[in-house]
Amino acid sequence: MRYCRILTLRFLLLATVIAGASCGSGGQNNEEQAQSKPNVIFVLVDDMGWGDVGAFWQNQRKANNDRSEPWQLTPSLDELAAGGVMLTSHYTAAPVCAPSRASLLLGVSQGHANVRDNQFDKELQDNYTLGTVLRGAGYHTATIGKWGLQGGDSATPGPDWPAHPANRGFDYYLGYMRHRDGHEHYPKEGIYRGSKEVWENKTNIADDLDKAYTADLWTAAAKRYITEKAQATEQSPFFLYLAYDTPHAVLELPTQAYPEGGGLNGGLRWTGRPGQMINTASGTVDSYVYPEYKTATYDHDNNPATPEVNWPETYQRYASACRRIDDGVGDLVTLLKDLGIYENTLIVFTSDNGPSEEDYLPEGRSVKNTPDFFNSFGPFDGIKRDLWEGGVREPTIVSWPGRIAGNRVIDEPSAMYDWMATFAEAVGIPAPARTDGVSLLPLLTGDRDSVEHPVYVEYFESRRTPSYTEFLGSHAGRQRSQMQMIRMGDFSGVRYDIQSADDDFEIYNVVQDPQEADNLTSNSAYQEMQDQMKRKVLQIRRPDPGAPRPYDSALIPAIEAQPLETGLRWSAYEGSFPWVSDVAGLTPSSQGSADLPDASVMKQAGMLLYEGVIRVPEDGEYEFSAQGDGPFIVRLHEALLADASYGYQPGQQVSATAMLQAGSHPVRIYLLKKTAREQDFEIQWHAPGASMAKMSAADFFHE
């Protein structure tokens, strides 16, 4: 049996207001900005479900005290949630780890990320990342834990991987580089697949890591890093991406109880001594079960008349793995308080995807780990690799005591790729225009009650959804194959086993119907929503040859447009911008219209945005080619048609094709002027059967 509750949105008034990005002459001075910039810690766990966290689901199971429904505990995460904000409708970008992490780091949806489906160890695109953006704001950047986006394959030797974190914006790295290494939680004494490599920057330190349980290892390394940065003579704010590899895969246990205390004077510590690098590197490998789980019993046959039995060892292990992360988070929070930086540290805790069904078991253990023991999927259907809510909705907690009022629950939908824009606004810089996300900061601070935008996920998986008794018959055992999910307001559209762009979405009001039981597709009142979803999923993405979809060749639908004038509208934003920037929310210094996109309309350095529509004369495949003297981005609808924003060389041609329906298609062209000198930009195209020609005023229209 599952129990569902309605989480209401509650906002408290704040006495402080977050200053927006200052790109011109106004705003905070440099000293004020440096003082107000928060430290940022992003904690990402591996395969922990929405329902695994006490404050989200497990505490309710405990309160119900149904002895056939066991529960686990996460007291430190519950405390973090009580002092911060719970995002109960926060979605991962993909229902499996590598694409999920790529979208997080790049700030783009799976409609634009270069890592999709099950492309583990693929090279993360050389573009703006959370690391490069926050480094650009004056941050020292570090990542500790699981990476899995280095390039090459699992056999490629290190350390010169093309997408090593050092090549993607991070000043410091310690962790598992390869995806498969993250299946094992003892680098040296691995009981599942043997020894693994742990890299500190570009040195493999695994030989020194005797009895180092990785959840402890990453926590101890994070504590060392935070302490060093906070106590440094020349201080700068820091960004830490802390990526645990548990409770994913083999359910190994720690060596011993979590050390007493926490923070500077207790808890986990990095000793730096080879052979005992952390203070829990002693005792017995894979041995410690939390006592409350070791003795826990439950009504296994749902018959109160028969004696209860102990939890199977598999679930003692799973709960212990989750609890170890919980202890680690509590230790980190205590450290921040001891160092006097807790109030001005922005912490985000979330998971990479839904809970997993795993058979990575230590030798001699036969009970497979399935998420239905604790109902790790919460009130939803679906697990890892599903696009039902249980596979993509993640337990997300945000804390920033100095800026964000606590004890609040936010039900508004948001996505993992929103964090780039959110962090950019929090630290006082504009986000790159290529991001698909929006800043959640106004939502978190209570300045706004909505930052609505579509949440989009696409994925391929050959296996079927599991047939748990908790799952609806219409969801259990479903063939996955090509899948899509789009969340628009209160409604989610889901497609499984997609054959073409014409396939209908199953439509659910996931606010009123979180298990997605009532498919609204046959209700004529939702026909327009069906059509809107079909249009939007074609307008919001770009095909990727490495992850072909059955809708890649479908025509991108045109929009209905009122009679328009020729040319484009432009808005100029003077000032020093670090990159081709999202200017939403900024006030333009001047505006006007022009026949063609032309950087010379702005005499000073800054950002220039052209907006309007392209009139497409006939259905077919169109090729575009653009070049300029400076970086630029061209968006067609919400899709990134041309991204020349990172490492662009002046005069370089950037080409792309698009399948377009005849009619009007919205276009936005972002141009970055780094100096006041004249700057050229040109865009060409050709229709089916025609030759390439420069676009003219007759091709562009605006309101």
For residue range 568-595, what is the model confidence (pLDDT) as tens digits?
999 999 999 999 999 998 999 999 999 9
When the pLDDT of each residue in the chain is averaged and rounded to a whole number, the result is 92
Closest CA to 431 of 582, 540, 237, 281: 582
Give 432's DSSP letter.
Answer: B
> What's the pTM value of the predicted model, to 2 decimals?
0.94
Cα distances from 502 to residues 458, 474, 505, 533, in angstroms, run 16, 21, 9, 11
User: Which is higher by pLDDT, 1 or 142?
Assistant: 142
Domain-ending residue, one of 430, 456, 482: 456
Q: State which of 434, 456, 478 marks the end of a domain.
A: 456
Q: What gap in Å lies between CA 328 and CA 219, rounded to an integer?
A: 6
Q: What is the pLDDT of residue 600?
A: 86
pLDDT at 51: 98
Q: Are 139 and 239 in contact (CB under 8 A)?
A: yes
486 and 446, same domain (yes or no):
no
pLDDT of residue 676: 81
Within 11-114, strands assigned E span: 39-46, 85-91
Round to whole Å and give the CA distance between 383 and 386: 6
Per-residue pLDDT averaged across 274-281, rounded? 97
Residue 174 sits in the same domain as residue 314: yes
DSSP at 600 = G
Q: Is residue 256 situated within a structural domain? A: yes
CB atoms within 10 A of CB 295: 11
Measured between alpha carbons, how far is 537 from 520 in angstroms, rounded to an integer? 19
Position 361 scores a pLDDT of 66
Structural domain includes residue 480: yes
The pLDDT of residue 66 is above 50: yes
Distance CA(78)–CA(130), nearest Å, equals: 27
Asked if pLDDT for residue 527 goes beyond 60, the answer is yes
Same domain, 476 and 364: no
Residues 515 and 489 in one domain: yes
- Decide if pLDDT at 441 tops 70: yes
On whether the CB atoms of residues 293 and 320 are closer than 8 A, the answer is: yes
Residue 96 lies in a domain: yes
Instruction: Name the domain boundary from 456, 483, 508.
Output: 456
Residue 677 reports pLDDT greater than 90: no
CATH number at 534 reads 3.30.1120
Rg over alpha carbons for the chain, rounded to the nearest Å, is: 26
- Write the CB contacts of 194 (distance below 8 Å, at least 6 apart in sequence): 184
User: Domain holding 653: CATH number?
Assistant: 2.60.120.1560
| Total number of domains in the chain | 3
Map 441-486 to HEC letters. HHHHHCCCCCCCCCEEEEEEEEEECCCCCCCCCCCCCCEEEEEEEE
Residue 18 has pLDDT above 50, yes or no: no
pLDDT band with cut points at 50, 70 and 90 for residue 22: very low
With respect to residue 500, please indicate whether it lies within any of the assigned structural domains: yes
Whole-number pLDDT of residue 362: 60
How far is Cα of residue 543 from the mean position of the Cα atoms in its chain?
20
CA distance 32 to 687: 53
Could you tell me if residue 557 is inside a domain? no
Q: Are residues 334 and 427 in the same domain?
A: yes
Same domain? 532 vs 641 = no
Are residues 255 and 121 both part of a single domain?
yes
Residues 308-363 have pLDDT tens digits of 999 999 999 999 999 999 999 999 999 999 999 999 999 999 999 999 997 666 65
* Whole-number pLDDT of residue 314: 93
Residue pair 164/177 in contact by the 8 Å Cβ criterion: yes
Give me the pLDDT at residue 364, please.
59
Residue 428 confidence (pLDDT) above 70: yes
Same domain, 611 and 654: yes
How does residue 266 score in pLDDT terms, banded at 50, 70 and 90?
very high
Residue 1 lies in a domain: no
| 555 assigned to some structural domain | no
Same domain flag for 668 and 688: yes
686: amino acid identity, one letter: H
Let me know the angle formed at the C-alpha of 246 by 4 and 361, rounded to the nearest 5 degrees: 95
Same domain, 301 and 390: yes
Residue 149 class from Cβ within 10 Å (0-12 exposed, 13-18 middle, 19+ buried)? buried
Q: What's the pLDDT band for 641 if we cut at 50, 70, 90?
A: very high
Distance from C-alpha of 204 to C-alpha of 176, rounded to nearest angstrom:
10
Q: Answer with the residue of higher pLDDT: 24 or 119.
A: 119
| Boundaries of domain holding 496 | 457-539
Locate tokens 């941050």: which residue?
139
Residue 33, pLDDT above cutoff 80: no
- Note whether residue 5 is domain-resident: no
287 lies in the same domain as 430: yes
pLDDT of 490 reads 97
Residues 397 and 500 in one domain: no
Helix 75-82 × helix 313-338 angle, to 10°: 40
Determine the average pLDDT of the residues in 467-484.
96
Q: What is the 3-state secondary structure (H, E, C) of 505-555?
A: CEEEECCCCCCCCCCCCCCHHHHHHHHHHHHHHHHCCCCCCCCCCCCCCCC
